[in-house]
Structure 1
Amino acid sequence: MAATKTDSLDNAEKSTSGLENNLSSETDEEFYVDPVKEVKLLAKLDLAFTPVIMLVYLSCFLDRSNIGNVKVAGILTDIHATNSQFSTAVSIFYATYVVFESPAAILMKKVTPRVILTTLCAVWSLTTIFTGFITNVGGLYTTRLILGACEAGLFPCLNLYLTMVYRREEQAKRVAYLFSCAALSGAFGGLLAYALLQMDGVSGKAGWRWVYIIEGCFSILVAVIVFFGLPNDPTNAWFLNTEEREMMRCRNGQRQKYLGSEKFSWEEIRIELRDPKLYLSGLIQFMQDILLYGFSTFLPSILKAMNYNTLQSNYLTIPVYLWGAIIFLILAWISDRYEIRGPIVMFANIFGIIGYVLLLTVKQNGVKYFATYLCAVAVYVGPGINLTWLNVNVAPHYRRATAIGLQQTMGNTAGAVAGQIYRAAPYKLGNSFSLGALCLSQCLIVGKIWYVRRENAVKERIMRGEVEDKRRVRTGDGEVDFRYHI
């Protein structure tokens, strides 16, 4: 009898493991999609959407993080600012950034993805250009506040857009594309800054001014690409033929619990505000973002503190960022392939812990530079996979929109902290704080894994009829056949 019960449970798990909503066999037949044709469809979707999404996020992160490149190029002297005022300029960005993330995510469907993303991109592009003409620290504060307000909506909206296109088990790779762009923006930003700083004196303008002006003009072009490249309804995109649109309809039918109603619901928002997964994820994101914003903004300064000159401290960041992007893509593929999230973040964080310990304890600059490669693994993998972990475990749409927006708000407050802890070379306070954040994140991840496992176990007992279902939430991701990813 015990063996029979075990076998039946194994069979139940096998029947649900490959399906994002674990629908019945009758529903599977109704929304059947040929696996061979689906592979071709995914390739087509990636080819159409991924370059546009990556390009706009590259533009966003480039315009946000170039302040780290220009610091070592004389901006403080030209606008008569102190190191303390510079740290304030880095932090003040997040004062508006964290305020507008949740509203943007919730309003995306109503305003439409095309309108909201194009508008945000156009405004922050103009702001970046204007930054190249500031003459005092007040101007820097103003442009950073506007930049924060505009860029706030981009990341939650792009993540939400991805959930409208891809299945749960397909999302980590696509989120990895976004965070790889954060890494690539560091590499590209370092390379571009290295080139643009050679324009120092052209038309009587300092090289750091040309960094802002040229990168802002690039972002204007990206805004145009976004307008024409991201359809409001990805299931009826212009590049899909009739058969492919039907396949998209079937894919959406298979994951209807995950997508949910198109109609706005305050009840879904209230449900999500009581979800422990949201707050655990937000705390983890805060810890991981301490690294992300400290590392991506101050890496050139950290390298300069190792006695590299201005140009070296910019171009030496390039291979570090590229390494971070490559490792993230590999671990994201593993995460999707085996549908594991938390353990991947913990694995990446081990490298970060070792890296920060080396930065704090060794004296040889070569070893310190090697340590930045170890840090880069945790810097990008941690926030990206943690966000995916939340994406795939919250449903339906407006519950997920609330979760993404609030999680990002909680996490991105770390940007204000990063600006205050990385104040002066050799940045022992910043690196020590980052190390502590990593260790605390490991503890929080263990706690969330335990919670998710417990919730899955409760659902299994309810499905087997062992206990009565007395849970408060039984819809969306609360459905007993909705399996949370660990």
Structure 2
Amino acid sequence: MAVEEKVDYHNGKRELTPLAAVEEEKRLVRKIDRAILPITCLLYLLAYLDRSNLGNARLQGLPEEILGGDPKGLLYEWVFSAFYFSYANPIPGTSYRALKAFPSILLDSHYGDWMGNLFYFTNLMLTVLQASAFNLGGIIVCRIGLGVFEAGFGPAIPVYFSLFYTKNELGLRLGYWFGFAAIAGAFGGLIAFGVQSVHFGPNSESDWKLLFLIEGIPAILLGVVTWFALPNRPEATHLFNERERELALERGARGTTADIGLVINRRHIIAALTDWRILACGTIYFGVNCALASISAFLPTIIKTFGYTNALAQLLTVPPYVVGAIVLCMTAYATDRLQSRGLAIASSCAAGAIGYLLVVLVPSNMHVRYFAVFLITSGTYTAIGVIIAWCSETKKAAGIPMFMAIGQCGSVLGANIYPASDGPRYLRGFTITCALMAWATVCAVILYVSYKRDNKRRDELYGKPDPDATVDTSELADKAPMFRYIP
């Protein structure tokens, strides 16, 4: 039912009634959603598709053509992990604009947006150039380039979203965004199945080269759209009129005002480096990223060991990814409504650990093993999607890159614990990842309890804060007296 907007005039100023103000804010959020979510979600889908398609290409002849057959699987592991060596950037600090690699983050402040977009387009071109690689050195150079130019993507998006969304809205939006990583896995399996099933003729390129081209070219086209369509900061974008800009800035200051403008508080960087909670978040992220890299690199290969053909193994990767995306979005919605994330992360990590345990303990029942894959994908993607929102609430520009840098080291590990010589059971990889997911469960529970106790202590000392009141965290970050964690 439509709500009639009423306007009161007091001292010559236009003031909305509470009911009209709520409707006005809802209209603004819908406008922001329409402008930001489609582009950023599609960008992550294509970026993750280009990052993880190596796992599909492994079953399409890539090792045989440019890795000399790679009987032990060690060269493939080096190729896959080359991306993460350059992607895991340990320097705290990130851009407030999305979709720029770390070098562009530094250059952007001096040379403007065009420099950041130049780096982004370089990343897209490297994606397509993978198809032209003809030896080990060529493919590794392309993968390292992908990591260098994509390094700012993950840290930038949570900060970028936090400029437009309140903490009550952030978890669901980040859940949607990261859910497209799971959808990318599903699309990757479908595209790989299609490429392997269609015969293009004796003179056509290899299947794995066609896969890189088919998945890389749309990213370039979307990059052109992004250059012009993605909104800038609320105070600078042309998306808003003056009233919308005023409301957007008020929403951005609701609950917290930390690193503002284009400046990062150096004291927040030091505090982030010594904050055990950010290190704990990094430990959780390390474990789930190890699982995620394993899934991206080896899921088609692992499903093939269940006794399926290469093409069918590609197709059977689709349902686990789809279920993982659905579970992630449902969990993100619930954590936003309940304003609690720790137990959801712990439950997701536990589900992933159980999935790996089933794969280890039930070697002969392929139905149980395939069900375990659903637990692994659902638990891993959900845990990552929710923990990004959880750790985006404190020391934003300083803390996010730090915990993400720790986590990406887990990706390097995950890419190197499934050598072909361990097949078909891959006990080493499964047990390591199972243990890391179990430890991540413990860390999530510890953080949940710590946040609950800290909130209770501050309530006793300073009283309960108004959830909509502005909390100045520009100096003390999350140590400000009226700041409260989401447990």
How many residues are aligned here?
A: 447
Q: Which runs of structure 2 are paired with 1:367-406 in the superposition (5 Å)?
A: 367-392=368-393, 394=394, 399-406=395-402
What's the CA shift string for 1:209-254, capped at 9, x where partnerless?
A: 0111222211111211211121222355333334322321321343
Structure 2 equivalent of residue 50 of structure 1: 37
Deviates more, 1:165-174 or 1:363-372: 363-372
Structure 1 equivalent of residue 120 of structure 2: 121
The answer to whether 1:98 aligns with 2:88 is yes
Structure 2 equivalent of residue 161 of structure 1: 160
Alpha-carbon deviation of 1:447? 1.9
The answer to whether 1:323 aligns with 2:323 is yes
> By percentage of residues, which structure has more helix?
1
d(CA) in 2 for partners of 1:233 and 1:478? Answer: 26
Alpha-carbon deviation of 1:474? 6.8
Helix, strand or coil for the counterpart of 1:35? helix
Q: Which amino acid aligns with 2:318?
A: I
**Mapped contact 1:200–1:207 kept (Cα < 8 A):** no
**Mapped contact 2:290–2:415 kept (Cα < 8 A):** no
**Mapped contact 1:117–1:226 kept (Cα < 8 A):** no
Alpha-carbon deviation of 1:436? 0.7
Alpha-carbon deviation of 1:121? 3.2
Change (3 A) 1:328 1:114: farther
**Mapped contact 1:257–1:477 kept (Cα < 8 A):** no
- Percent of residue pairs bearing the same amino acid type: 28
Alpha-carbon deviation of 1:383? 1.3
The answer to whether 1:67 aligns with 2:54 is yes
Q: Which runs of structure 2 are paired with 1:73-112 in the superposition (5 Å)?
A: 73-79=60-66, 80-82=68-70, 83-99=73-89, 102-105=92-95, 107=105, 110=109
Q: Which runs of structure 2 are paired with 1:227-238 in the superposition (5 Å)?
A: 227-238=227-238
Q: Which amino acid aligns with 1:91?
A: S
Structure 1 equivalent of residue 306 of structure 2: 306
**Mapped contact 1:105–1:405 kept (Cα < 8 A):** no
**Mapped contact 2:94–2:398 kept (Cα < 8 A):** no
Deviates more, 1:357-366 or 1:46-55: 357-366
Structure 2 equivalent of residue 13 of structure 1: none
Helix, strand or coil for the counterpart of 2:257? helix
Alpha-carbon deviation of 1:259? 5.4
TM-score by length of 1: 0.86
d(CA) in 1 for partners of 2:448 and 2:112? Answer: 33
Task: Show structure 2 runs of 5+ residues with no match.
Answer: 1-14, 97-104, 465-473
TM-score by length of 2: 0.86
Alpha-carbon deviation of 1:202? 6.4
Structure 2 equivalent of residue 410 of structure 1: 406
d(CA) in 2 for partners of 1:235 and 1:174? Answer: 21
Q: Which amino acid aligns with 1:418?
A: G
Q: Which amino acid aligns with 1:160?
A: V
d(CA) in 2 for partners of 1:318 and 1:286? Answer: 25
The answer to whether 1:423 aligns with 2:410 is no
Alpha-carbon deviation of 1:84? 0.8
What's the CA shift string for 1:303-324, capped at 9, x where partnerless?
A: 1111111111111111111100
Alpha-carbon deviation of 1:164? 0.9
Alpha-carbon deviation of 1:113? 9.2
d(CA) in 2 for partners of 1:482 and 1:191? Answer: 46
d(CA) in 2 for partners of 1:120 and 1:31? Answer: 47
**Mapped contact 2:87–2:150 kept (Cα < 8 A):** yes
Alpha-carbon deviation of 1:104? 4.3
Alpha-carbon deviation of 1:256? 4.9
Alpha-carbon deviation of 1:271? 2.4
d(CA) in 2 for partners of 1:238 and 1:196? Answer: 42
Change (3 A) 1:92 1:481: same
**Mapped contact 1:68–1:300 kept (Cα < 8 A):** yes
Alpha-carbon deviation of 1:463? 1.1
Structure 1 equivalent of residue 11 of structure 2: none
Q: Which amino acid aligns with 2:369?
A: K
Helix, strand or coil for the counterpart of 1:370? helix
* RMSD across aligned positions (CA): 2.6
